Copies of this chain bind each other. A is one copy, B any other.
Amino acid sequence: MYTQSGLKKLVNKSILNLSYNEEAEKLNDPVKYILSIGGKRLRPVLALMACNLYNDKIDEAIIPATGLEVFHNFTLVHDDIMDQAPLRRNLPTVHSKWNVNQAVLSGDVMAFIANECFLQTPPHCLSKVFRVFNKVAIEVCVGQQLDIDFEKAAIVSHEEYLRMIELKTAALLAASAKIGSIIGGADDKESDLLYEFGRNLGLAFQIQDDLLDIYGDIKVFGKILGGDIISNKKTFMLVKALEIASVEQAKQLHEQFTLKEIDPEIKVKKVIDLYDQLNIKNISENLANDYINTAFNLLEKTGVISERKTELVSLASSLIGRDN
């Protein structure tokens, strides 16, 4: 069995081996830059682990798995334009290091470099794998659109919020697990279980991520606590809080998120106070736990023997901050 760190190394090597059309260097520089500034390589590692559940040989899955990482980074480059984000992983985003036009164009070519990777899927499952990939690619765009729409919307239900993060984040983890399993030789029933595993894991992960912004260990999390509150970002916690708040509490929450010239520290404190009154931390943790338990139950249901699943269980556990 391959370990998480072993797989990450294989993915990083595969990223370095990507071939580029070198006629216009300026096009590729931002691609190489964003792909070099790291991250966990979560999606390709998940795909390769899912492949490895069914097959000792994972070679044929490496390039398609790399395509998932290239696609993910394509979405980061374009999302950062839309969010006007100056930093990504503590380094300048592509549009701030170069410019918006360059970020649009270099992002675009990444979509086709991802295609190039998927075209190297073994012929017997190329069409199937590509369909899974392309469906999720469209879903990620839909999720980003909903995210933009929700930022401007006065009221968003927690169901709408969950559907948005499902499309924007969880679906790609789901598709990664499914694609890896298909290349590994899993049948439809098994690969659908892997899809649902990834989807539930992704939802748990995103809610957990929202929680960590407030309740995380600043040393581990590496961001200022309450950043989402300061930047008025809609999170599961905020959406849920507004849903169950009394008229008076809702008024106070709205105030914090609409008043100009508010001291950020006081704002974070007041919002957390309201969350505490509404038991938001528990509600969110319980929901994340429900999703993660569902994910592990789905993994149980697969026809794979337990020993083959240890690495995947360990990856999933670390993702949602559970010791395992």
Which A positions have Cβ atoms within 8 angstroms of B? 21, 23-24, 26-27, 78, 81-82, 100-101, 104-105, 107-109, 111-113, 115-116, 119, 123, 126-127, 130-131, 134, 137-139, 141-142, 144-146, 148-149, 163, 167
Contacts and interface: CB of A to CB of B under 8 A. Distances in A.
A248 to B, nearest CB: 34
* Residue from the set A27, A107, A141 with the largest chain B CB neighbour count within 10 Å: A141
Contact of A82 (B81, B82, B104): B104
Q: How many copies does the complex hold?
A: 2
A85 to B, nearest CB: 12
B119 A130 contact: yes
A114 to B, nearest CB: 10
B142 A113 contact: no
* Residue from the set A24, A123, A139 with the largest chain B CB neighbour count within 10 Å: A24
A285 B323 CA distance: 73
A105 B82 contact: yes
Contacts of A146: 23-24
B144 A105 contact: yes
Contacts of A139: 21
A112 B100 contact: no
B24 A142 contact: yes
B108 A141 contact: yes
Nearest to A115: B134
Contacts of A126: 126-127
A167 to B, nearest CB: 7
A27 B127 CA distance: 26
* Residue from the set A108, A116, A131 with the largest chain B CB neighbour count within 10 Å: A108
6 contacts: A24-B142, A24-B149, A27-B141, A78-B105, A78-B108, A119-B134
Contact of A138 (B100, B116, B138): B116
A124 to B, nearest CB: 11
* Residue from the set A105, A119, A126 with the largest chain B CB neighbour count within 10 Å: A105
Contacts of A105: 78, 82, 141, 144-145, 148
A27 to B, nearest CB: 4
A130 B118 CA distance: 11
B104 A119 contact: no
Contacts of A100: 81, 100
A127 B181 CA distance: 21
A169 B90 CA distance: 39
